[in-house]
Structure formats: structure tokens, C-alpha cells
Chain A
Amino acid sequence: MRVFKLIFKNALRHKLRTLLTILGIAIAVVAFGILRTVVTAWNAGVDASSANRLISRQAVSFIFPLPYNYRDKISRVPGVEQVAFANWFQGVYIDKNQFFPRLAVDAETMFDVYPEFILTKNELETFKKEKNSCVVGADIAKQYKLKLGDIMTIEGDIYPGQWQFVIRGIYKPRDNTTDGTGMYFHWDYLNDRLEADDPLRAGDVGWYIIKIKDPARSAEISEQIDAMFKNSNAETKTETERAFQQGFLASTSAIITAMNVLSFVIIGIIMLVLGNTMIMSARERTREYAVMKTLGFSAKHLTGLILGESLFISFLGSCAGLLLLFPLIDGFSTVIPKNFFPIFTLEPITIVLAVSAAIMIGIISSIFPIQKALRTKIVDGFRFVG
């Protein structure tokens, strides 16, 4: 017999109790994993931000446009490699429930500035040539069964009227942190129509995307850009793409914080569940620990036995939880509309956090029973009536 066998036998002494504890830990790991995945999905835009991209927008608010002629001025700022721009178009595709980002972009530079959107050379060339063309993400193409050459008809809301686009490209996200739910078309196409129908709104862009050579100079370049347009009709606020994305999330930060807090509350609950089991087990074995001490087992041995049992249960619980979590996350990612959470995957960090939390819980839950077992004198242990 090895000590491991004794740990195993001890853990299975009350099979139902151990099973329920394992199940409790597993459910908590699942809840923790799902919450963390939702938080990760929420932050996906921030995480996917590139360090060498700056976003320049209207200083007053993101909803106000910037003049198109800022483009050349920004391009001349030392350290700027390339400048793209975009307009939030939105519109209604099929019906109002079909949400995914639809943007009017600079066709020439957009896919250079965003190399994580992978287009074939052919598709890119065709897209650039045809003003009424558009590129959609692979997830959108899959969801709406779209293919190259199809016409997408969008009913404009911000920009009224019916808009038709020919799909000339389907981009693939470079990795699973890249959004595959975008739809991009020529800003020129939008602007031409505005010049004809609503000239006061023409010539404006929503924001500039600035690719810089050295991410370490982002603050300095941002300041230079903003200084250029200081005291103009449209002052800019330039920041890193990450800061820009974080700004977007700021309005929902309370929800994210609540979810973060909740995920750690769940860890606390697991700790209580396992701690309760371990305390009950250790209490029931008070006499046995006294016997083992009498036989010569030291504090180190008893610590190993109790800690081992606690870790064994928490490890089994976390494994069971992870085994459930993978298919559940997969299931959720297929059920949740792609355009709601474009990136909904179980991140390795979530797995590491769940397993680390389980190990930590195993250790913490055993502290009190270990202390009690070690503190109880042998003679008191023999007198104990459980």
C-alpha cells in the first residue's frame, strides 16, 4: 500500500459526499469558465488591438465626423506609415435583428492597416477596382450563406436610401481573436451618393486609423496629430487602438466588473463546498489521526494525507468541470449570434485560471482541517466522540 492509496481510499470513504463535492466544484468551474469567456469575449476588441495602430476621432464625441482632408495632413506626421479611415454606416440588412458592423472604409488602405483580415490578392484587387463592391467576413458569409458575386441590399438608416453592394471578397480572420463578422465597402461609394443627395454630409469620415512604424512613439505621434488640429472646427482625439476600444467598453464596465466579481465569488463558493467536506472528513477522522500519530505518523505525514485528499477532490472537480466546459462553450458559440459575440472561445488563460483556482482551493480548504488535526493532542483525539 502506498500513501496515495490511502488518500484515494479516504477520498472515497463517503462516495456520495465526495461525488456531490466533485459535482459542485465541476459546476462552479463551468460557471467560472463561462463567465470568464463572456468577459474575454467582451474584451476581445481590446485584446485584438494592434500596438502599432492609432485611432483619431472627433475630440468632442465619436459620433461627430472629421474632415476627409485631415488624411493627408496626418500622413505627413513623422512616424506615420499609413492612414486609413472608416465611417459607421450601419443600415438594416434583412431585418433590424441582424446586427453586424457595416462600415464605409478607404478601400485602398483598409486591408493594409488590418493585416489580420486575410483576403486573396485577387479578391482585394477586384474590391479595390469596383466602387460598389464590398468585403464580408467569413463568419457573416457562413451565417447568411453569402458567396462572391452575391448582392447585399441594405436599407440605410444613418444614410437613408437603399444601398446595394456586390460581394467581391470574403476575408478570413487570421486567428480566433480576430473578428470575422465585419462588412466593409468603399467610402467613395457612400461619399459620391452623399454629394448628390445630401452634400452637407459629404466629405466627412468617422475616424482615422493610423498605422505607425514604432509603437513606442504612439503617445508622441498622437500628441502631434491632435496639436495639428487644435482650435479647428473639428479637433481630434488620438489614442492607441487599445485605449479606443477600452473607451467603448467603459460604458459597460460595471457589467464586466460585476461578471469578474461574480466569477471570483464562484471560486469562494467552491472553497466553501470543499472546505466543508474537508472539515467534516477531518472531524470524523479525529480518532484515526490520533491512532496514526500514535503509530509514529508525523505532522508532515498528516498534512500530506489531508492536503492530498483535498487536492485530489478539487483536481477531479476541476477536470470534470473542464470536460463539461469545452462542449458547453462550443455549444454556446454556435447558439449565440456571431455578431453579438464575434469571438467566443475558451481561452487558455481561462483554463489555467480554473485549474489554478482549483489547486489553490484544494490547498486553502485543507488548511483548517490540517491545523485542527495537528493541534489536537493524541490523548484528546482518543477522547473525541464524533
Chain B
Amino acid sequence: MPPVIQIQNVSKSYTRDSFEIPVLNNINMEIEEGEFQALMGPSGSGKTTLLNLIAGIDKPNKGKVIVAGTDISALNESALAKWRANNVGFIFQFYNLIPVLTAFENVELPLLLTKLSKAERKKHVETALEIVGLKDRMKHYPKQLSGGQEQRVAIARAIVTDPLIIVGDEPTGDLDKNSAEEILLLLERLNKEFKKTVLIVTHDPHAADRAHQIKYIDKGDLVEAL
């Protein structure tokens, strides 16, 4: 079976004030289905950019990003939005919940794009919130939750559509030690129990230790070690 994620000769640069800043240089990488991998590297090394390319929220200047057989770098914006809705669960460092929506409504948000009935949506949302242990807080607004709980709601939102891969950009970066531990346990559980392919970007060596494999990026290049 081919790897679920294949990065082939990917380069990416940004233009800032007419200056072209190279971020990734000819990256080649593969991730097998069901793996839990961590990307580490210093700030500005390009790890978040690589994660964004894999999650389909950014496009490479050169090369291919193939996820589950689809070259997502060739998709247009509209097709890419649909692809993300069906295949990727994204966990952000700062949770990024919609403040005017309850935990239930935040988790339900991606399901509004599906053809599920209201009852089916409710069932999916309750299941996701149960997995993250927040079924009893579903009517709470983000401001009524702790940071760890907010991140768990964000994880529920990421898994509610049953995506192929889960990507996390510093998912524990804004949390205290205990909350971070809870989130890492949850990610491990999603990987082991629900067979999700998990890829996280982290600065935290303890977080990275939970991964099956750690990849290092430095100045836009994949390196053996830092």
C-alpha cells in the first residue's frame, strides 16, 4: 500500500515586500497510513509551512503533495476546500473556536457542509465530544471552558467528520503541563484506537516523544537530527 502522504520535491517560498523568502527546499517525505509523526525544528524552519501544505491550506511553488492518491497541489481553491472538509482534521495552537457558538455548535460546524440530517449531525457531534470527554460541556461557550477543554473541543471538531489525517500545529503549545498531557493522550488514542494518521508540529520534546517518528526541519531542509 502506498504511503498516505507523499511529499515530492516540494519547494515553497513567500514574497514579503518584494523579497522572496525561501521556506522549504526540495522536500521529499512519506508518511504511512496510521502513523503518528512529529515535525520539529526551530522557529522559521518551515515546519508549519510543510504542515499547511499537507493539510491543503497552502500550495507549494514546486513539487507535489499527494494525500491518499490525490495530488492536492493541483486542486483549485473550491476543490481543495471540499477535499479539506472530507480528509483533514486540523488542530490549532490557539484552538480557534468560534466564540459565539457553543461547544456543540463549534463541533457541528464542519458537518454543516455535509448532507447529514440534524439528528445525524447531533449523533456525530455527541460521539466526538464523548471521545474527548466533554459531552457534559456541550452547551458551554468557549469562554466558559479552560484552555485544555477548548483544545479538546477543537479536537472533537477535527475528528467529527472522521477525516483521513489529523494535523496539529503546536496543539499543546498554549497549554499547561497537565492539559498538554491530556491532549497528547487523546491524540495517541485517536491514532491507536481509531487508526488515524496524526501529524503534529511541536517545539516540545515531550510531545514529540509520543510520536512513532520525529522528523526534523532546519532552514527549509529535512535533516536527520538537530
B116 at interface by CB-CB < 8 Å: no
Contact A13 B100 (CB under 8 A): yes
Question: Contacts A379-B52, A379-B58 given: A295-B100 contact, CB under 8 Å?
Answer: no
Which residue of B85, B92, B101, B113 contacts A1 across the interface (Cβ within 8 Å)? B101
- For window 88-133 of B, CB contacts with A under 8 Å fall at 90, 92, 96, 98-101, 104-105, 108-110, 112-113
| 7 shortest interchain CB distances as A-B pairs | A296-B85, A9-B100, A378-B57, A291-B96, A298-B81, A295-B110, A1-B105
User: Do residues A297 and B113 form an inter-chain contact, with CB atoms below 8 A?
Assistant: yes
Count of chain B residues with a beta carbon within 8 Å of a chain A beta carbon:
27
User: In the complex, what distance in Å separates the CA atom of A297 from the CA atom of B86?
Assistant: 11
Does more than half of chain A's interface fall in helix, strand or loop, or is it mixed?
helix
**8 Å CB contacts to B: which residues of A269-312?**
287-288, 291-299, 301
| A9 engages B109 (CB within 8 Å) | no
Confirm or deny: A6 has a beta carbon within 8 angstroms of a beta carbon on chain B. yes
Dominant secondary structure of chain B at its interface with chain A: helix
Residue contact A295 to B84, C-beta cutoff 8 Å: yes
A296 and B101 contact, CB distance less than 8 A: no
Q: A296 CA to B110 CA in the complex, in Å?
A: 7
Q: Is A323 part of the contact surface with B, judged by Cβ < 8 Å?
A: no
Q: Please list the residues of chain B having a beta carbon within 8 angstroms of any beta carbon in chain A.
A: 49, 52, 55, 57-58, 77-78, 81-82, 84-86, 90, 92, 96, 98-101, 104-105, 108-110, 112-113, 157
Residues of B close to A377: CB separation below 8 A = 58
Please report the total number of A residues contacting B with Cβ < 8 Å.
Answer: 25
Contacts of B112 in A (CB 8 A): 1-3
Q: Is A6 a contact partner of B101 (Cβ separation < 8 A)?
A: yes
CB-CB < 8 A to B78: which residues of A?
298-299
Which interface residue of A2, A6, A294 has the most chain B CB atoms within 10 A? A294
- Is the CB of A10 closer than 8 A to any CB of chain B? yes
Q: Which of B82, B92, B104 contacts A296 (CB 8 A)?
A: B82
Bound Cα distance A378, B48 (Å) = 13
| Contact yes or no, B86 A288, CB < 8 A | no
Q: Given the complex, which residues of A lie within 8 Å of B52, measured CB to CB?
A: 378-379
A6: chain B residues at CB < 8 Å are: 98, 100-101
**Chain A residues within an 8 Å CB radius of B77:** 298-299
Give CA–CA (A287, B109) in the complex, Å.
Answer: 15
Q: A1-B108, A287-B96, A288-B96 are in contact. Are A293 and B81 (CB under 8 A)?
A: yes
Contacts of B55 in A (CB 8 A): 294
Given contacts A3-B112, A377-B58, contact A294 B101 (CB under 8 A): no
Contacts of B92 in A (CB 8 A): 291, 382
Question: How close is A307's CB to chain B, nearest CB, in angstroms?
Answer: 17
Contacts of A298 in B (CB 8 A): 77-78, 81-82
**A295 to B77, alpha carbons, bound, how many Å?**
13
| Chain A minimum-CB-distance residue to B104 | A1
Chain A nearest CB: distance from B106 CB in Å? 9
